[in-house]
Amino acid sequence: MSRILVTGGAGFIASHISDALLERGNEVHVLDDLSGGKLENVPNAAVFHEMDIRSEETAELFESVGFDVLMHCAAQMDVRRSVADPSFDADVNLRGLLNLMESGRHNYLKKVVFASTGGAIYGDPDYVPQDEEHPLRPLSPYGIAKLSSEHYLEFYHHTYGIDFVSLRFGNVYGPRQNPHGEAGVVAIFTERLLVGAPAFINGDGNQTRDYVFVEDVVRANMLALDHPGSGIFNIGTAIETDVNELFRIIRDEIDPTCEERHADAKPGEQMRSVLSFEKAMAELGWEPEVDVRDGLERTVHWFREHLSTS
């Protein structure tokens, strides 16, 4: 049985990962400062540590518990905030990672599974779907920090023998996603339509993303955990969905009479992003199983149930 630390485990993706790790019989510890996550997302069977990834206390935690694996999902994940405050983004996403890795290398950490990003690392595509060999052109401090994190993980692998798997996610969506902020358009549209509030599409809505359901992302993390060695893999569907289509699918699930409204485009917004998963399929045995319509239906159902009981 592995002893695993999940950072950001009170948040959207990492709480689902924690559930899956516990189902596998692992000893799971969750580290989260609750700045964005919710305590209710942390599984009862996990050991919870309310802590900032930049804290000096992480060294004491690694020393006292002795983790085999770090599933690193905690992050400053708002691209627009990273543009407005690059220093804060780097402080959380880079200094936080280095703090964890220094704590880990002194305490026999064996492996890291890292939540990276597809769209923000590659930039607008030269070809689609974008594979891992596509030129890397991050245009935001957030994307730059994720790419830099991968280089740091390479350093720790070659210097200290800590294996790593970096998973470059598409646009992850599903139950527990936080609708308050800029990072989750599916959650934002869903909650606003369910409460009868206006939901606005930025610009003409023709910008595309690769929407991947959280359940598929969790499977990728479990396969990465079992992967012998290190590597970088896209986790997406290779299918583009534009924002207009996304809105209409969600609207038709909730109230087909809702008006489609557009707002000003966000300056500098990437127009296309779609990821190849061929390498993940060949080396991890992973491929997406939930199509966007089914995933959105399940997401709307969860939000509807959650809002009715909150």
Q: Which of 108, 127, 142, 160 is catalytic?
A: 142
φ, ψ for residue 27, nearest 5 deg: -85, 115
Query: What are the start-end ranges of the H helices in 138-274?
Result: 141-160, 185-194, 214-226, 243-254
Contacts 24+ apart (CB under 8 A), 249-253: 249/292, 249/293, 249/296, 250/186, 250/189, 250/190, 250/193, 250/296, 250/300, 251/189, 251/193, 253/296, 253/297, 253/300
- Based on the residue annotation, tell me whether 142 is a catalytic residue of this protein: yes
Residue 274: half-sphere exposure toward Cβ, Cα within 13 Å: 14
Length of the chain in residues, anyone? 310
Give the HSE-up count for residue 14: Cα atoms under 13 Å, Cβ half-sphere. 32
Side-chain half-sphere CA neighbours of 203 within 13 A: 13
198 class by beta-carbon count within 10 Å (0-12 exposed, 13-18 middle, 19+ buried): exposed
- Tokens 């009868």, residue located: 196
Rounded CA-CA distance 191/207 in Å is: 21
Active-site positions?
A: 142
